[in-house]
Amino acid sequence: MNETLRLLCYWIGLALLTAATVSIAGGARPPWPQLGVIALAVAKAWLIIDGFMELRRAPRAWRLLLLAWPFAMAAGVLLAGYLPGR
């Protein structure tokens, strides 16, 4: 696939995920909007890491390290929501 077309597809994917995030955030009752937004944020991070940073062909350790970061942040956000005193 042409490099420009591939990047355009990634960009369209990111735009669609952003639109889905906005539509979810204004809809249902908690905790579903938060879970949906977090899941979409992880998906966007995956697209950025694999597509724009072009790490899909990088050494496995680098790719796993960078893909672990959005999952760690999502877990931190979810855990912070269940802390007492909130």
Write out pLDDT tens, residues 45-54: 999 998 888 8
Nearest Cα residue to 10 out of 58, 59, 43: 43
d(CA 84, CA 50): 37
What integer pLDDT is reported at residue 79 of this predicted model?
Answer: 84
What integer pLDDT is reported at residue 28 of this predicted model?
Answer: 60
| pLDDT > 90 fraction of the chain, expressed in percent and rounded | 28
Write out pLDDT tens, residues 8-40: 998 999 999 988 888 887 666 666 778 888 899
* Prediction pTM value: 0.77
